[in-house]
Amino acid sequence: MLACSCQTAGDATIDARETGGVANDAVNSIGMKFVRVPKGTFAMGSQRGNRNADLDERQHEVTITRDYFIGAFECTQEQYERVMGKNPSQFQDPRSKGSTANHPVERVSWNDAVEFCRRLSELPAEKAAGRSYRLPTEAEWERACRGGSTGEFAFGDDAAALGDYAWYQPNGGGQTHPVGQKRPNAFGIYDMHGNAWEWCADWYVEHSSRPVVDPTGPANGTDRVYRGGSWNYSAGYCRSANRTATRPEFNSSGFDFLSISFRVVMDESSAR
């Protein structure tokens, strides 16, 4: 049985849910919750012969050598506005149904997401606690999305069950939704399938089949990766291995069908 004790790091709350005081959850000074993803080796991409897979999903072995904290939820409109002083989202009051403070922020470019991480890292409470923030690498994102699953989704291969975990085309209702309303994956992470696409740190490149350790993508490129599908995309786009990319300055303004958000990583060492 897991033991629970709480301690404080700066203005963040850390929930040590394992015996020995290993912190599995953290909440920072603006209320963002983080979940620890364990280090390990996993198969990234899709198995050869998978009829649903795209050509750039070549399966390969990835080893991540350190645990890391990733956002349990996508960055919300309220959190983004607290840090950036504005809310660029298409789906916000009064255009949407009900309050949208806890909807994922969208119409943000990769550059915007990186700037959010920089400003969040510079907040006094975060600096005092030694915490810094960044976008997840593509490998970190997929490991977190899978939650230990080797199937097409975090819960296996049956797309008929996706509605329990994701807002996507059949149930999206024409807009984003508050984060955390659907079921989490086995790691306790929400909305990695559907709701809004999510930026990753990497430049886009087609993966090879060779094993890699702590990959961060190429040093340069044209397009940045985004993952996960959204409220108006079909199940195939919401698969754990599905990949897409666009230029880093693109914020989807004028593309009402395309909602791109992000979630952030807080390194384990910064939460001590």
Cα 159 to the chain's mean position, in Å?
20
Is 3 contained in some domain? Answer: no
| Confidence band for 2, pLDDT divided at 50, 70 and 90 | very low
pLDDT at residue number 1: 27
The pLDDT of residue 70 is above 80: yes
Alpha carbon separation from 69 to 66, 79, 106, 217, 269 (Å, rounded): 10, 18, 22, 20, 9
Cβ–Cβ under 8 Å, residues 77 and 104: yes
Is 8 contained in some domain? Answer: no
Q: Which helix (H) or strand (E) holds 182?
A: none
Residue with token string 């890292």: 121
**Domain of residue 167, residue span:** 37-271
Is 14 contained in some domain? Answer: no
pLDDT at residue number 52: 86
Is 2 contained in some domain? Answer: no
What single letter denotes the amino acid at residue 40? G
The pLDDT tens digits of the residues spanning 105-158 come to 999 999 999 999 999 999 999 999 999 999 999 999 999 999 999 999 999 999
| Confidence band for 4, pLDDT divided at 50, 70 and 90 | very low
DSSP H helices in the chain: 77-84, 110-122, 124-129, 138-146
* Burial bucket for residue 111 (CB in 10 Å: 0-12, 13-18, 19+): middle
Cβ–Cβ under 8 Å, residues 11 and 4: no
- How far apart CA 114 and CA 119 sit, in angstroms, is 9
Supply the CATH number for residue 263's domain.
Answer: 3.90.1580.10
Is 94 contained in some domain? Answer: yes
The pLDDT tens digits of the residues spanning 74-102 come to 999 999 999 999 999 999 977 777 789 99
Is 24 contained in some domain? Answer: no
Indicate the pTM of the whole model: 0.90
pLDDT at residue number 268: 53
The pLDDT of residue 65 is above 80: yes
Question: Which percentage of the chain shows pLDDT scores above 90?
Answer: 83
What single letter denotes the amino acid at residue 113? A
Is 15 contained in some domain? Answer: no
Is 159 contained in some domain? Answer: yes
Cβ–Cβ under 8 Å, residues 185 and 145: yes
Count CB neighbours of 75 within 10 A: 27
Number of domains into which the chain is organized: 1
